[in-house]
């Protein structure tokens, strides 16, 4: 029996050593075969949101800075090709790349999908990203590793492969606000009501979040450069990662030039309110429909009935189900005749919808930035945004002392803002819209290109020494 135990232990140790040697040779091979390229880690290249716009504008900026660097997209979308991706950048976002990017297909994307982890989703996806980045870097090892999707746990892996690591961080995976909500036992999309109601489960989740925060701080500190998209994100990342000297705030690119060419005068027959957001739980679309229903009930009979247009993309089956639930909710609230749904629209159609809207509604709590809010303002649609994070700290601020929009929380505040926009005299609406449009100009694509290039040039210079 003892001999069998010794033999089993010997075999186990041999297997572990063999696997470690194999992994070491994979890393060494990656070091030896590093390409003069930027590997862009963006597993979902078809999400259609602000993150994808950042991706293509960033790729274009990199091509401008150093045309000799190949841009390689790590994607889990198996139908993606260089031509289809460059075409998508142009058709969906109006971004014309200098040349199509190379594509490396990833076959283990399921390890970062939220459906793979019904519980402990955050830590599951984070460790899953380590596995996915290992696949990416073994297939193609670049000199520069660029994360555009917030997978900070991949940074140590990229460092092991000898890459210069830089990122564009839209929001921290965990924030101090999230921790405070769990401590306060507030129920939200990222804090199940069952946990919020239980003191024991809430304490356990506080410990879980604290431990995860420590890990997140370590992996984030491995970035040579961290670009962030807003004051709110910058504040959190500086506290969490502890590398303030390596952090640069680069506001995301908004197509303000094309949208600013749209007329400020809008038809009020009927007044249209647009909502642009992916059909994800944190975007809080049900709140918008509930507020809209309340506003319609409170409107004077002699005022025109507005129409709300929900415009967004669906990434997967879960998003499709959420969209159907919204359609069912509109029927339940008896406003379905006044609600339009526009799924996965082309960029030209988005511009048309924005151009016809008198107001734009946004309802995500702690939206890190809020590209859609800027798009509303540039298009002349008065924003009604959530009173937190990016919209409150960076976007819906007075311009030369003039109001640029509304900030709201809760169904009643949103409903009152909707009513006020519809009842507003034309001259006042035009004054607010003009001030909002002027403020939106500071978040232009041109501003993004300038700030992005200034941030990455030192990284590229260091990498060539």
Report which of residues 420 and 315 the model is more confident about.
420
Average pLDDT over residues 420-441: 95
Please give the structure tokens belonging to residue 459: 């990284």
pLDDT band at 12 (very low <50, low <70, confident <90, very high): very low
Report which listed range, 105-114, 126-135, 362-371, is most confident.
126-135
What is the tens place of the pLDDT at every residue in 188-231?
A: 545 455 555 556 666 777 788 888 889 999 999 999 999 999 99
- Using CA atoms, how far residue 136 sits from 23, 43, 44, 125, 300, in Å, is 14, 10, 14, 16, 59
**Helix axes 231-241 and 199-220, enclosed angle (nearest 10):** 90
Rounded Cα–Cα distance for residues 105 and 45 (Å): 11
Contacts (Cβ under 8 Å, ≥6 apart) of 279: 285, 312, 313, 314, 319, 320, 322, 323, 326, 343
Domain 14-253+447-462 has CATH 3.40.50.300: no
- In 3D, which of 90, 8, 10 has the Cα closest to residue 57? 90
Rounded Cα–Cα distance for residues 343 and 327 (Å): 12
Percent of the chain clearing pLDDT 90 (strictly above): 65
What is the tens place of the pLDDT at every residue in 147-159?
A: 999 999 999 999 9
Per-residue confidence (pLDDT) for residue 222, from 0 to 100? 96
Domain span(s) for CATH 3.40.50.2000 in the chain: 14-253+447-462, 256-443
Average pLDDT over residues 86-110: 92
Average pLDDT over residues 290-318: 90
Cβ–Cβ < 8 Å for 145, 137: yes
Per-residue confidence (pLDDT) for residue 368, from 0 to 100? 87
Per CATH, the homologous superfamily of domain 256-443 is Glycogen Phosphorylase B; (3.40.50.2000)
The whole-angstrom distance between residue 403's C-alpha and the CA centroid of its chain comes to: 27
Report which of residues 173 and 293 the model is more confident about.
293
Name the least confident of 168-177, 199-208, 269-278, 317-326: 199-208
Rounded Cα–Cα distance for residues 329 and 323 (Å): 10
- Kindly report the number of other CB atoms within 10 A of residue 27's CB atom: 17
Per-residue confidence (pLDDT) for residue 185, from 0 to 100? 47
- Prediction pTM value: 0.79
Burial level of 400, CB count in 10 A (0-12/13-18/19+)? Answer: exposed
What is the tens place of the pLDDT at every residue in 337-368?
A: 999 999 988 888 999 999 999 999 999 988 88
- Kindly report the number of other CB atoms within 10 A of residue 29's CB atom: 12
Average pLDDT over residues 224-246: 94
Residue 3 reports pLDDT greater than 80: no
């Amino acid at each position: 029996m003892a001999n069998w135990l010794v033999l089993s232990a010997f075999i186990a140790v041999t297997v572990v050593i063999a696997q470690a040697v194999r992994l070491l040779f994979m890393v060494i091979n990656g070091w030896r075969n590093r390409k003069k390229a930027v590997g862009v880690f963006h597993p979902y290249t078809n999400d259609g949101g602000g993150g994808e716009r950042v991706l293509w504008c960033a790729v274009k900026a990199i091509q401008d800075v150093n045309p000799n660097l190949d841009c390689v997209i790590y994607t889990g979308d198996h139908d993606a090709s260089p031509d289809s991706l460059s075409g998508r950048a142009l058709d969906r976002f109006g971004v014309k790349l200098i040349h199509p990017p190379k594509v490396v297909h990833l076959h283990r994307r399921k390890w970062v999908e939220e459906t793979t982890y019904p519980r402990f989703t955050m830590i599951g996806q984070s460790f899953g990203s380590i596995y996915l980045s290992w696949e990416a870097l073994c297939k193609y090892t670049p000199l520069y590793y660029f994360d555009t999707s917030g997978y900070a746990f991949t940074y140590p892996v990229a460092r092991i492969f000898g890459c210069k690591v830089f990122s564009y961080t839209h929001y921290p995976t965990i924030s101090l606000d999230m921790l405070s909500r769990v401590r306060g036992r507030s129920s939200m999309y990222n804090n199940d009501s069952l946990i919020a109601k239980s003191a024991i489960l809430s304490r356990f989740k506080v410990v879980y979040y604290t431990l995860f925060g420590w890990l997140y701080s370590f992996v984030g500190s491995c970035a040579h450069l961290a670009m962030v998209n807003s004051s709110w994100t910058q504040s959190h990342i500086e506290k969490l990662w502890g590398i303030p000297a390596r952090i640069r705030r680069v506001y995301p690119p908004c197509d303000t030039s094309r949208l600013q060419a749209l007329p400020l005068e809008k038809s009020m027959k009927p007044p249209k309110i647009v909502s642009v957001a992916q059909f994800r739980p944190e975007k809080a679309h049900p709140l918008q429909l509930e507020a809209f229903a309340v506003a319609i009930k409170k409107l004077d009979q002699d005022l025109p009935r507005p129409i709300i247009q929900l415009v967004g993309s669906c990434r997967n089956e879960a998003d499709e189900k959420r969209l159907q639930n919204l359609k069912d909710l509109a029927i339940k609230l008896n406003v379905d005749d006044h609600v339009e749904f526009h799924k996965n629209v082309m960029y030209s159609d988005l511009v048309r919808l924005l151009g016809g809207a008198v107001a734009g509604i946004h309802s995500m709590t702690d939206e890190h930035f809020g590209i859609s809010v800027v798009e509303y303002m540039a298009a002349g649609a008065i924003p009604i945004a959530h009173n937190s994070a990016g919209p409150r700290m960076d976007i819906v601020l007075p311009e030369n002392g003039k109001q640029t929009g509304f900030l709201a929380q809760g169904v009643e505040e949103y409903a009152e803002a909707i009513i006020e926009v519809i009842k507003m005299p034309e001259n006042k609406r035009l004054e607010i819209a003009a001030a909002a449009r002027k403020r939106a100009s500071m978040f232009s694509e041109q501003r993004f290109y300038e700030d992005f290039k200034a941030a990455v040039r030192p990284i590229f210079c260091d990498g060539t020494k």
